[in-house]
Structure 1
Amino acid sequence: MTSQFFLPGMPPERKKEEKSLLVLQNEIETENEASCKGMCSTWQNYDLNLMNLVCKYLRDMKLCLFLTFFKEERAPSPVIEFEDLEEFVLQPAQQGITVKCKVTRDKRGMDRGLYPTYYLHLDNEKKVFLLAGRKRKKSTTSNYLISVDPTDLSRGGENYIGKLRSNLMGTKFTVFDNALHPDRALPDLSNARQELAAIIYETNVLGMKGPRRMTVIIPGMDKDGERVPIRPRNENDGLLIRHQNRNMENVIELRNKTPVWNEETSSHVLNFNGRVTQASVKNFQIVHSKDQDYIVMQFGRVADDAFTLDYNYPLCAVQAFAIALSSFDGKIACE
């Protein structure tokens, strides 16, 4: 991917200023992938005329665009320390603290990159490892194992901490912890696995292009700020069914933040506050419907195989990482 693109009359060298313009287009994984990757990038010191010229140029090529304007310098990550990794990745983020992370994708090894390994690290000077995930082979539906050891991604290993499982179409996902299947658990389900989240991608039956739409369902929080355990006895009692039946007791519903349509540029606008720097259909922000300004999670590309992932209360690292993994999976009915 080229680092910049130039239009006639656009100086090749520009001094760094307070503002940056980020062009995000929503068809990067369509037949226009090569041209999109070659054209979409960031540049500094723009003016309104240049911005409009760029937007018109891309619109004429019939590309669907996201435009993100940001002024803030990238804030340093808060100091986060912990002694027990497994406890930390399952614990909701501390209220008022944004946990800033980085996801890297390693395509080496497994079947020519068909089964990449994904790693989650804290995005700070120490780059502390948190989680690793990889899609399992020979599964009827997509199934990702999540581990607290980057070298051990086996389900039978002691470092297995959870999994992400999809339906056949890749439009609905469920996140589980590492406890027992209800069929093998005690009658009271006290040692049965918990459902940590469910992700629903809206199907696109008309083939219309545009922003992906997703809903995230997570267990509610009690008065002490702890996650309410959701231990379904069977699939008819899980988060997906509860959401379908609108049984929302002890359940929180989140949605991706809808980009604002800009009439002047005929483009969608989102603000990632400098944490996203490259175009990708996978870029998104998750919010609560009652507070669109509180970003529960945001995820976006910063390099071909690197992404930032920031999450806030009430999410934990496993939930956030699994949501990100779901965005990498192929979705037959959503593209």
Structure 2
Amino acid sequence: MSFKSLIQDMRGELGSISRKGFDVRFGYGRSRSQRVVQDTSVPVDAFKQSCWANMPPELLRDVLMRIELSEDTWPSRKNVVSCAGVCRNWREIVKEIVKVPEVSSKLTFPISLKQPGPRGSLVQCYIMRNRSNQTYYLYLGLNQAASNDDGKFLLAAKRFRRPTCTDYIISLNCDDVSRGSNTYIGKLRSNFLGTKFTVFDAQPTNPGTQVTRTRSSRLLSLKQVSPRIPSGNYPVAHISYELNVLGSRGPRRMQCVMDAIPASAVEPGGTAPTQTELIHSNLENFPSFSFFRSKSIRAESLSSGPASAAQKEGLLVLKNKAPRWHEQLQCWCLNFNGRVTVASVKNFQLVAAPENGPAGPEHENVILQFGKVGKDVFTMDYQYPISAFQAFTICLSSFDTKIACE
């Protein structure tokens, strides 16, 4: 029996049981004077009444493992997600079987977007830009032209201009990109010149991370705001572009200080923090904090100071790979392995900056590359130790106008 027919059979059985329970409870099909009401003190589990409840755990695990191994790419991989949504028992087994992207190189659940990418290989994605509403969409796939199903949607970001800065709100829902959405997972904020950026996560990456209260988060203390709004702003990265007013220094120069990732993560055997669950905090259970400036002294020193300040604290620092000048083409060039086809000042490759001494082979690996392939289509490839969320925010910083950098 194929997996498709298996799911249809299961849905049909569960649906018939659910309809029968609904009819008995509300007395449909009976006269008004002979209504029968289900005893609410006795819980009814439709799944336990089906034949699937009698499946031995060993057999169930073997079936789910075969499904997980056979579905390598989207859209067929949605069958794995469907199995996780059958019931609690199935969900726990699927969560145990499905490995993190670091091991499996697969993005399955939403939490995979917050987990580091695979080691030794790049996850290939692309970004679609909508100029009319200043919205950016991240998809999993080679590019728009090569994807038969237009790719698997991952994240969406919307740009909001402020008097002194620019915010990029990031959401799991392409139709609801707002700070008050339940699918809000973080944001990117720039300074007035667009030369320095801070990446905020809606939940802490490391235990004991201190929350940062911005001006917008002060509004969350008002009673008119819905308690569903996630009120955490945890700085996880700082991005800075070197000033280049006259353009005499060549292409853009950028560096990223990853607050949540140690510098040893790029070394053999090194590890990076891995989130295991998406948690949206509410005002009711969120601890009280005293309000303070949106940028701490440490944050300002890391974003405005040299990379050595961050390296002294053992943080991972990413810098853009220096392009070479091509005499025949009369332009700056980088080897994107065919992933970039259009020349643009936005194109870049990021590698790990060495802490002390000469750079090793691990510092030559491209951790993130971003480039233009069409008018509003850009490729984004990333790998361990950064996540899809972190890579997306870094690429969003390249879209912002930087008059002082080029």
Residue 368 of structure 2: aligned partner? 297
**Cα–Cα, structure 1 residues 168 and 89, in superposed 2: closer, same or farther, change >3 Å?**
same
**Cα–Cα, structure 1 residues 135 and 88, in superposed 2: closer, same or farther, change >3 Å?**
same
| Structure 2: distance between partners of 1:193 and 1:293 | 32
Query: 2:338 matched to 1:260?
Result: no
Give the counterpart letter for 1:121 in structure 2. Answer: Y
Deviations, residues 233-282 of structure 1 (Å, cap 9, x unaligned): 86234444235271431311111110123456654331110000112111
Q: In structure 1, which of residues 293, 297, 311 is the aligned counterpart of residue 382 of structure 2? A: 311
Deviations, residues 37-74 of structure 1 (Å, cap 9, x unaligned): xxxxxxxxxxxxxxxxxxxxxxxxxxxxxxxxxxxxxx
| Structure 1: distance between partners of 2:331 and 2:342 | 16
| Structure 1: distance between partners of 2:125 and 2:404 | 30
| TM-score, normalising length: structure 1 | 0.65
Q: Which runs of 5+ in 1 are unaligned?
A: 1-75, 111-115, 186-190
Q: Look up the SS of the partner of 1:198 in the other structure.
A: strand
Q: Look up the SS of the partner of 1:136 in the other structure.
A: strand
| Structure 2: distance between partners of 1:80 and 1:130 | 15
Decide whether the 8 Å contact of 1:228 with 1:250 is kept in 2: no
Decide whether the 8 Å contact of 1:131 with 1:148 is kept in 2: yes
**Cα–Cα, structure 1 residues 96 and 319, in superposed 2: closer, same or farther, change >3 Å?**
same
Residue 137 of structure 2: aligned partner? 119
Decide whether the 8 Å contact of 2:187 with 2:199 is kept in 1: yes
Query: 2:220 matched to 1:182?
Result: no
**Cα–Cα, structure 1 residues 268 and 280, in superposed 2: closer, same or farther, change >3 Å?**
closer
Q: In structure 2, which of residues 239, 251, 255 is the aligned counterpart of residue 199 of structure 1? A: 239
Measure how far apart 1:80 and its partner are.
4.8
**Cα–Cα, structure 1 residues 332 and 228, in superposed 2: closer, same or farther, change >3 Å?**
farther
Percent of aligned pairs with the same amino acid: 42
Q: Decide which structure has greater strand share.
A: 1
Decide whether the 8 Å contact of 2:258 with 2:315 is kept in 1: yes
Give the counterpart letter for 2:336 in structure 1. Answer: F
Q: How many residues align?
A: 245
Decide whether the 8 Å contact of 1:198 with 1:240 is kept in 2: no
| Structure 1: distance between partners of 2:333 and 2:108 | 40
| Structure 1: distance between partners of 2:300 and 2:121 | 29
Decide whether the 8 Å contact of 2:201 with 2:232 is kept in 1: no
| TM-score, normalising length: structure 2 | 0.54
Deviations, residues 98-126 of structure 1 (Å, cap 9, x unaligned): 11100001123x3xxxxx11000001555
**Cα–Cα, structure 1 residues 239 and 254, in superposed 2: closer, same or farther, change >3 Å?**
farther
Query: 2:185 matched to 1:161?
Result: yes
| Structure 1: distance between partners of 2:136 and 2:323 | 27
Residue 60 of structure 1: aligned partner? none
Residue 152 of structure 1: aligned partner? 176
Q: Decide which structure has greater helix share.
A: 2
Residue 13 of structure 1: aligned partner? none
| Structure 2: distance between partners of 1:148 and 1:136 | 17
CA RMSD of aligned residues (A): 3.0
Query: 2:272 matched to 1:226?
Result: yes
Q: Look up the SS of the partner of 1:211 in the other structure.
A: coil
Residue 241 of structure 1: aligned partner? 301
Q: In structure 2, which of residues 138, 149, 159 is the aligned counterpart of residue 135 of structure 1? A: 159
**Cα–Cα, structure 1 residues 82 and 280, in superposed 2: closer, same or farther, change >3 Å?**
closer
Q: In structure 2, which of residues 183, 187, 197 is the aligned counterpart of residue 173 of structure 1? A: 197
Decide whether the 8 Å contact of 2:211 with 2:234 is kept in 1: no
Work out which of the two has the higher radius of gyration on C-alpha atoms and give 1 or 2: 2
Q: Look up the SS of the partner of 2:397 in the other structure.
A: helix
| Structure 2: distance between partners of 1:298 and 1:154 | 27
Q: Look up the SS of the partner of 2:118 in the other structure.
A: coil
Q: Which runs of 5+ in 2 are unaligned?
A: 1-72, 75-100, 204-209, 219-230, 276-291, 354-358
**Cα–Cα, structure 1 residues 237 and 317, in superposed 2: closer, same or farther, change >3 Å?**
farther
| Structure 2: distance between partners of 1:224 and 1:118 | 32
